[in-house]
Amino acid sequence: MVKFYNTMSRKLEEFIPGGVKKDSIDEYPPVSIYSCGPTVYGLAHIGNFRTFLFNDILRRFLKFRGFTVNHSMNITDVDDKTIKGAAAEGISLKEYTTRFTDIFFEDLKKLNIEDFEHYPRATESIDSMNDIINRLNSKDLVYRDGNSLYFSISKYDKYGKLSRIDPDAIKSGTRYDTDEYHKDDIRDFALWKEVEPDEQGWDIDMGHGRPGWHIECSAMIRKIYNSTIDIHTGGVDLVFPHHENEIAQSEAAYDEPFVRYWLHAEHLLVDNSKMSKSKGNFFTLNDLLEKGYPARSVRYLLMTAHYRKQFNFTLENLENAEQPLSRIDNIVELCLRSKKTGPVRPAVKDRISSLLDEFTTSLNHDLNISGAIGHLFEAVTDFNKIYNEDSFSKEEAESVIEVFKKIDTVLGFIFFKEKKSSQLSDEEIETYISRRNSAKSEKKWDEADSIRDLLLDKGIVLEDSKDGTRWKMV
C-alpha cells in the first residue's frame, strides 16, 4: 500500500487516486499530478532541482507500482520578475522567458528527469483565469481597486485550512499588490493586475490587465484536469500563501475539492545556510558541471535525503557521491563480463527478490528514498560476496542486471547516460568493431580486448557469435 504524508491532514494517508478504493492498481484512473514549476526569470538553482527531482521520483515510483500518471508542471512566464527582467533588457516578455525556459528543459534532461505529460504556460491559460474570476465575482468574492481585481479573504470562511493560519490574523481589506509576500501576513491577493500603458496585457471580461501569480496555477489545473486532482506538489515555502490562495480560488469557484494529497518538499541548504548569491554558496546546475562534477553525482546526491527533510548540500558531499556510484558500476561491470553458463543459485535469486521487496516497501512509505537507496547498497555488498564465493554465471548476471534496471526506472542513476558530446555514433562503433575483428584475426588479443573495454566504458556491450559481432547499449 502506498502512503503519502498529506500536508492538509498532517498525516500519513493511504494513496487512493480518484478517491475511490479499487481491488488492484491497474483499475485506478491515471494519477493526476500538478507540480509548481519555475518562474523563468533566471537560471534555476540546485535547491529548485532538488524539488524537481522529488517530482521525478514521485512519478517514476507511481509508474513502478503500476499506476499511470498524468503529470503537469507549469512554466510561470508572466509575473513581476519576468516583466521586470524583460524590460531591463529591452526585449519582449516572450523572448526573455523562452531563453530561460529552454535552459531549464536542458537542465532537466542533464539530470535525467523524465518528461512530464504537460508543461502549461501561464500566458496560454488566460481563458481559464477569466472563467475563475467570473465565477468568483458572481459569488461576491472579488473587488476592484483601480484596474486591479482582488480576492476578498474575509468573505471566504474556509480560508487557511492548508497552512492552518489563524483567520483572526486577517487584515480585512488590506492588499498585496506584488507577487512577493511576507510569511504569515494574510492579505487579500491580486487575481488580476493593472498594467502600465506600455506593458503587455490581456483582456478578460472584467478588464484589461495581467494575471496575479496565484491564479495562474489554479487556471492551468482547471484547464488540464477540469476537476479535483490527486496530487499537488511544490516547495514547502509555497504552502502559504501560494497554495492557500490556489485552494481559495479554485474551491470557491467550482464548489468541489481542489486537491486530494498535498506533498511539499523541504529546503536545500548549502554549507548549512540558505543559498544566496552574496554568500557565494549559490549554485546552478552548470556551475557544478563546469567544476567537473558529473550530472549523475548531482542527481544522486540531491535525491539521497527524504523529500520532507532539509538537506545540507556541500561540494565535499558531491565529491564523495562518486564513491557509492562506482560501487554500483563495479558490480554492473562484473555482470557484463560474466560469460560462463550455469544455473541461477538460490542465494542470487533470493537476494534479488528481497532487494525488490525492501526497495518497494521503503518507497511505499511516503517515498522513503534514503531507505530504498540503503537497501540497494546492502544488496550490492551481498552480490559482491556471492560473486567472490564463485563468479556469476551469465544467467545470474542477467538477472542481477534485470533487477537493477527495474529499480533504476525509479532511481535513474544506475544506468545514467551522461549527455556527452563524445558519445559515439553508430558509424564510429562499427569502425571500432571492425578494428577489433582485424586485431582478433591477427591474434592481437590485447588490442582486441582494449577496444572492447573502451566501448564498455561508453556503455556499449559487444556480443560475439558465429554470425559476427553485435553491440548494444546498457
- Give me the residues that bind Zn ion (CB under 5 A), please: 36, 217
Residue 193 or 436: the one with the smaller Cβ distance to Zn ion is 193
What is the smallest separation between the CB atom of 407 and Zn ion, expressed in angstroms?
31
- Nearest residue to 213 via CA among 244, 183, 173, 170: 244
The secondary structure element, H or E, covering residue 440 is helix 426-441
What is the smallest separation between the CB atom of 218 and Zn ion, expressed in angstroms?
8
What is the smallest separation between the CB atom of 122 and Zn ion, expressed in angstroms?
10
Residue 36 or 369: the one with the smaller Cβ distance to Zn ion is 36
Phi/psi for 45 (5° steps) reads -105, 175
Q: Name the burial class of residue 72, with classes exposed (0-12), middle (13-18) and buried (19+) by CB atoms within 10 angstroms of its CB.
A: buried
What is the smallest separation between the CB atom of 335 and Zn ion, expressed in angstroms?
43
Residue 219 or 303: the one with the smaller Cβ distance to Zn ion is 219
Calpha distance 464→28 (Å, rounded): 45
Enumerate residues 6+ apart whose C-beta is below 8 A from 343.
393, 395
What is the smallest separation between the CB atom of 239 and Zn ion, expressed in angstroms?
11
What is the smallest separation between the CB atom of 214 and Zn ion, expressed in angstroms?
7
DSSP 353: H
Residue 36 or 44: the one with the smaller Cβ distance to Zn ion is 36
- State the CB neighbour count (10 A cutoff) for residue 197: 5
Set of cell numbers at residue 219 = 487556471
Residue 217 or 239: the one with the smaller Cβ distance to Zn ion is 217
Secondary structure class of 20 (helix, strand, coil): coil
What is the smallest separation between the CB atom of 43 and Zn ion, expressed in angstroms?
19
Residue 112 or 125: the one with the smaller Cβ distance to Zn ion is 125
Each residue of 415-431: b (16+ CB within 10 Å) or e? Answer: bbeeeeeeebeeeebee
Residue 73 or 303: the one with the smaller Cβ distance to Zn ion is 73
Q: Name the burial class of residue 16, with classes exposed (0-12), middle (13-18) and buried (19+) by CB atoms within 10 angstroms of its CB.
A: middle
- State the CB neighbour count (10 A cutoff) for residue 172: 11
Calpha distance 373→358 (Å, rounded): 10
Long-range CB contacts for residues 21-28, cutoff 8 Å, separation at least 24: 25/65, 25/66, 25/67, 26/66, 28/67
Cα separations in angstroms, 277 against 218, 273, 284, 289: 32, 12, 11, 18
What is the smallest separation between the CB atom of 264 and Zn ion, expressed in angstroms?
12
What is the smallest separation between the CB atom of 58 and Zn ion, expressed in angstroms?
16
Secondary structure class of 469 (helix, strand, coil): strand
- Nearest residue to 61 via CA among 411, 410, 366: 410
> How would DSSP label each residue in 105-143?
HHHHHHTTPPPPSB--BGGG-HHHHHHHHHHHHHTT-EE
Cα separations in angstroms, 363 against 12, 61, 375: 13, 8, 11
Residue 60 or 232: the one with the smaller Cβ distance to Zn ion is 232
Residue 17 or 211: the one with the smaller Cβ distance to Zn ion is 211
Residue 152 or 233: the one with the smaller Cβ distance to Zn ion is 233
Set of cell numbers at residue 67 = 499506476
**Cα dihedral 316, 321, 322, 324 sign:** positive
What is the smallest separation between the CB atom of 221 and Zn ion, expressed in angstroms?
9
* CB of 122 closer than 8 Å to CB of 108: no
Residue 217 or 414: the one with the smaller Cβ distance to Zn ion is 217
Residue 83 or 217: the one with the smaller Cβ distance to Zn ion is 217
What is the smallest separation between the CB atom of 71 and Zn ion, expressed in angstroms?
14
What is the smallest separation between the CB atom of 35 and Zn ion, expressed in angstroms?
8
